[in-house]
Structure 1
């Protein structure tokens, strides 16, 4: 078992000692190391007592919260007992039965005697006593335990599994996220003005595992009634046992089997984000039989996406990451005798496709609502999706309300001919004012990706009978007594086709899209189609498009376009783009735009544009400019347009205010989950994950975006902080729940710093590596080369003790007094001092 420990403060000095003495290895081992102090003694200076370097820094016995990494994957932050074993001076990890279970160690692999010893809840054993093929390394300063454990000794869990016990519910907090936009336009023809403003708000309060949310907005301007429009108010929490979210209040159903429904009530639905990343979405399970210990390699489009060693017998790989390539997998099995077997696993992704054994559900109960505060009938709705095999997934649903019932049944097929999803729906309506009706609807989607020919084909088709109504149609008719359900414009047939064809090499890509909609009780159809070609010549990207639109209510129109885009500069932070468009009816427009970003962290962005328009009557032109600043507490944007016919101006501000136990902190616009960062005294430190964000004067900042149920790393960059402040740790990892606001505390060490050139009373140098202590006996630093002391944490004045042994002649004292004019955070003060053996010390003087 290989164990190594990293100390807190003396590691750099030990490394220097190792280099100076010429030791071959400098790992911090428990075994004692012997140093010859004469190598550290000056010509006439006293010898140094280096006995304290003969042992690594002491790791105390305690239950310590450590980040545990197993086989290069973060397992979580667990409480690990640290105990001394035998005559060891150091405490080392000691494993209880509960801890082994948390670490997904298969306890069945342990010897019976070991399992018996671990039966008492308070008993623990060192790693060497478990009988596992494993090694450990404890970094006590970084609070990190790294383990290497043979795969067969671990339970079969996805490689990126994060147990719910590690999900962080966050701290109690409240926030308001705001988005303000002001817009003004003035006509240069008749001098009329038009102003409009919009303020959107999203607020919330987090209490434990419950997250309360409200969304709303207000719009005001000429001809607009000013009033606050609530959008949604609800409370939610996750249900880890079901990998689902529970929502109470105003919410929306998922809209996968049935159309999405806005309702006021209760909702419970699967949240796929709670699964490990390797279990989300659809990817086939690769299974087979190995005749010997074999190397398994899985490729997609010629790229290796998985490789592992499998044991003789049946094997199964079920943790491939989902991707959007939709191309078959090539599986190669290389046996121990060198023979190779290759087979193909179809991989075409269709809507509602799930991995084998995976399932999803959605349930809602409540009253239908619209987006304007109106409500309709009560309903209950439930749907279930199930992955059966690599080729087959099924789904079904029921929806019931007063005078309305609907049932859905469908399947998804994954085959060499493509991925097909088919859903059949049946509805029955019985309304007093509209009579009874029943009908069916059919939804079909198909996609085929052919990598060899670089072809991507997809078709979507929805067909409804005359008597079929969706629940939203019925609810709107019930809410509006003056409307006739049968007069609503309902689609009889919706069809769409998309083709993307690569032309190989430098040939670019050709895209074709077409869509058609036919309505009941309307003779004409809506039709649109477009053709585009896209390629690049060196750094210049270009595209040609042609489209035609034909609507039953607005006639037809043709459009042609050319787009050009050219990145500029070595860093490509700037770009020049241009577009030419023609309507086919004598109307032509063109735009040319220069855009760039500036600032060390890209916090500034601006652009300049020129636009022209020509038609049969007149030609017009205009200039516009925009500016964007992404600051630590808000994003501010502005735009000005000067056109032949009008002038425009707009101003936008986005940001948030977060209230927490430490006070109120301004922040950038927030995502679903965010982090509150606190490092006392570390004002102006940056967040590496959002470099525009700095800690405020109190040491607080908000990282505006975290990915729920995933491992997030939050790092601090100390650049710009006071030299009197030292970060004890600069990086943490957290797995937040959806909606959570974790509080991440970064301990700091603060105090005035100084560089003291000190000598003994006889002019001799102080011993290299001697300890420097304050009046309380706390170590502030060591004596470096040239008898120079680097110390941190001193007061304006005081006395320091320099000690290089236990006898009175192996220690001395020096007094210091810093300048009252030295500002906090400035460069360390340079002082001269004499270290006296007697108690009468002379104050250090400024250089």
Structure 2
């Protein structure tokens, strides 16, 4: 045996043979009985002595890597066992909140089978490997594309300017030449964790009238540990619960894009029990969506990535003995549904910065939402100012084959000044979404009813300051988005919104109805729409558009449009295209309009739109 080690050089001795440990050479730093212990281990066919070793660790047959593990005799003296320490369990992803006792000492040896039902640890001393088998439901899911925030990179310090130039020239018959020019800048500065952003625009219209504007100037930094960011300057408040409002100030808000891709949108949680180590597959419309292996015992799949809307998932569980079990799980989603355990928050403080520039009252707002058990999301928030207070509370639920539904209620107290005094009211909202087997997708349907005393924040500001453009406070709002697939090449879509108001007969409606189809390379779009501004039937527009690619010019399309609003009829032919990697685009067109008098007026215009974008 070499100095400094106790590695035996002979095979197991024959029965009845014994050796004197005094003939073994030992280094000065070894214990006096080390030779005797080594001989006893060799005689008992034990490949290892108790101690600490570098061991290959795997969890549910997924390789984890080499870890330093303490090996010792088990309590019954039947052989060697690995010491399962708390820090190892944390590293493999055990859900600590689901354990009967808390993990305290990092280096204490734990009884894995007593700590987690059906969990096992098998040590292969000869191959220096440790196989952990832990039910999947007891493990924290390390989702796809998840990178620990400590490894995020802030990027390099830099400055940049993105610019976009849009120029248009028109030559209507008899009206001379008309030109317009738009120049837009989106600039920024990155310094350490901070980002400065600003947008500017220069517009030159007829008679060389020029207008310069600046907006959305703010400085921002990420907060990786909080999955959010901190913003100072001009921005918009969170619009998930209250209406989004422009303001100047500070905002702390979650950033869903910091989460792994599969956690950014809602998806159902799949639960079940595996009899053996089984393969689990999830199919959507017959196509594989997800595949993994689960250990014996309960499992929870909470890192699915599914398409928005609604659908039905097929779960296929193949046990180790070949037995196959199938389950169906319908699901439906809404924009305010979150995955179980995902938070969304915002805190806002600043001055209201409305486009009407009539007042800049203090604005503060806080919102919070959390995805929870039973496919339910709870959300709420508060909003206020010197003369305004509002609070909201609601819940959203995935009802499976019945669709997805959310309900909320908001109470608001508004001080409208000396003449109007204080008013109080409530607003009730319901949202619904569902996909049907017929190919109909009710993407979103919402209805909000407000009592006579209810005001949104911007409504209260406008009414308190007697703004001339104030239409009144809303009584109800209806909105919906419907999509219907027809065959392999066609679809029908409808978007609709309608607002009506207290104390007047005003009803604002807008809709867009489109039928799309294509044959070969030619696409057809038949549409009808109504503008939001008034109820006049002249705002209703009907039309047909035909578009086809041109082989003679790269990245070019020709289109033919016919439109009518009942009084005015027009036809137009256009040629569109792009070049320089889409940094330059152009449009040329010729049109013919027929006015109210019935006399055809040939506009015969040739217009060119040049757009250059660069960074």
Same topology, TM > 0.5: yes
Q: What is the CA–CA distance in structure 1 between the aligned matches of 2:147 and 2:543, rounded to whole Å?
A: 49
Of 346, 355, 361, the residue aligned with 1:362 is 346
Q: Specify the SS of the correspondent of 2:360.
A: strand
Residues 220-270 of structure 1 deviation map (CA, whole Å, 9 limit, x = unaligned): 445797564331332111111211101122221121111112222210000
Does the 8 A contact of 1:104 with 1:155 survive in 2?
A: no
Greater CA drift, 301-310 or 517-526: 517-526
The aligned residue for residue 310 of structure 1 is: 294
Correspondence 1:466 to 2:446: no
The aligned residue for residue 97 of structure 1 is: none
Q: Specify the SS of the correspondent of 1:165.
A: helix
Q: What is the CA–CA distance in structure 1 between the aligned matches of 2:531 and 2:543, rounded to whole Å?
A: 14
Does the 8 A contact of 2:194 with 2:219 survive in 1?
A: yes
Q: What is the CA–CA distance in structure 1 between the aligned matches of 2:552 and 2:294, rounded to whole Å?
A: 47
Q: What is the CA–CA distance in structure 2 between the aligned matches of 1:107 and 1:267, rounded to whole Å?
A: 35
Of 203, 220, 224, the residue aligned with 2:187 is 203
Cα 1:160–1:387 shift into 2, 3 Å: same
Q: Specify the SS of the correspondent of 2:257.
A: helix
Does the 8 A contact of 2:459 with 2:472 survive in 1?
A: no
Q: What is the CA–CA distance in structure 2 between the aligned matches of 1:227 and 1:212, rounded to whole Å?
A: 24
* Aligned-pair CA distance for 1:205: 2.1
Counterpart mapping for 1:8-27 below 5 A? none
* Aligned-pair CA distance for 1:174: 2.0
Correspondence 1:591 to 2:572: yes
Of 456, 460, 474, the residue aligned with 1:491 is 474
Correspondence 1:327 to 2:311: yes
Q: What is the CA–CA distance in structure 2 between the aligned matches of 1:523 and 1:456, rounded to whole Å?
A: 33
The aligned residue for residue 351 of structure 1 is: 335
Does the 8 A contact of 2:450 with 2:474 survive in 1?
A: yes
CA RMSD in angstroms, aligned pairs only: 3.8
Correspondence 1:439 to 2:398: no
Correspondence 1:252 to 2:236: yes
Residues 99-153 of structure 1 deviation map (CA, whole Å, 9 limit, x = unaligned): x99x966799xxxxx989xxxxxxxxxxx9974689xxxxxxxxxxxxxxxx99x
Cα 1:577–1:488 shift into 2, 3 Å: closer
* Aligned-pair CA distance for 1:295: 1.9
Q: What is the CA–CA distance in structure 2 between the aligned matches of 1:516 and 1:612, rounded to whole Å?
A: 33
The aligned residue for residue 486 of structure 2 is: 503
Correspondence 1:449 to 2:421: no
* Aligned-pair CA distance for 1:464: 1.8
Of 580, 583, 591, the residue aligned with 1:611 is 591
The aligned residue for residue 269 of structure 1 is: 253
Q: What is the CA–CA distance in structure 2 between the aligned matches of 1:495 and 1:548, rounded to whole Å?
A: 15
Greater CA drift, 227-236 or 289-298: 227-236
Q: Specify the SS of the correspondent of 1:543.
A: strand
Counterpart mapping for 1:701-716 below 5 A? none
Does the 8 A contact of 2:588 with 2:608 survive in 1?
A: no
Q: What is the CA–CA distance in structure 2 between the aligned matches of 1:407 and 1:107, rounded to whole Å?
A: 38
Q: What is the CA–CA distance in structure 1 between the aligned matches of 2:143 and 2:532, rounded to whole Å?
A: 51
Cα 1:497–1:305 shift into 2, 3 Å: same
Gaps of 5+ in 2: 1-61, 67-86, 96-105, 109-125
Cα 1:491–1:477 shift into 2, 3 Å: closer
Of 485, 509, 516, the residue aligned with 1:534 is 516
Residues 797-829 of structure 1 deviation map (CA, whole Å, 9 limit, x = unaligned): xxxxxxxxxxxxxxxxxxxxxxxxxxxxxxxxx
* Aligned-pair CA distance for 1:603: 6.8
Cα 1:580–1:230 shift into 2, 3 Å: closer
The aligned residue for residue 160 of structure 2 is: 175
* Aligned-pair CA distance for 1:574: 4.3
Cα 1:424–1:188 shift into 2, 3 Å: same
Q: Specify the SS of the correspondent of 2:187.
A: strand
The aligned residue for residue 428 of structure 1 is: 413
* Aligned-pair CA distance for 1:168: 1.5
* Aligned-pair CA distance for 1:466: 1.9
Of 497, 502, 506, the residue aligned with 1:515 is 497
Cα 1:527–1:472 shift into 2, 3 Å: closer
Q: Specify the SS of the correspondent of 1:410.
A: strand
Q: Specify the SS of the correspondent of 2:602.
A: strand
* Aligned-pair CA distance for 1:576: 3.5
Q: Specify the SS of the correspondent of 1:205.
A: strand
Q: What is the CA–CA distance in structure 2 between the aligned matches of 1:530 and 1:235, rounded to whole Å?
A: 38
Gaps of 5+ in 1: 1-72, 81-99, 109-113, 117-127, 135-150, 623-640, 643-647, 656-667, 669-847
* Aligned-pair CA distance for 1:520: 2.1
Does the 8 A contact of 2:585 with 2:612 survive in 1?
A: no
Q: What is the CA–CA distance in structure 2 between the aligned matches of 1:130 and 1:378, rounded to whole Å?
A: 66
* Aligned-pair CA distance for 1:406: 0.1
* Aligned-pair CA distance for 1:184: 4.9
Residues 622-642 of structure 1 deviation map (CA, whole Å, 9 limit, x = unaligned): 3xxxxxxxxxxxxxxxxxx53
The aligned residue for residue 70 of structure 1 is: none
* Aligned-pair CA distance for 1:360: 0.6
Residues 164-220 of structure 1 deviation map (CA, whole Å, 9 limit, x = unaligned): 1222112222223333344455554254x6554433333322221111223333434
Cα 1:422–1:472 shift into 2, 3 Å: same
Does the 8 A contact of 1:250 with 1:265 survive in 2?
A: yes
Does the 8 A contact of 1:231 with 1:371 survive in 2?
A: no
Cα 1:504–1:178 shift into 2, 3 Å: closer
* Aligned-pair CA distance for 1:554: 3.7
The aligned residue for residue 283 of structure 1 is: 267
Does the 8 A contact of 1:368 with 1:475 survive in 2?
A: no
TM (norm. structure 1) is: 0.53
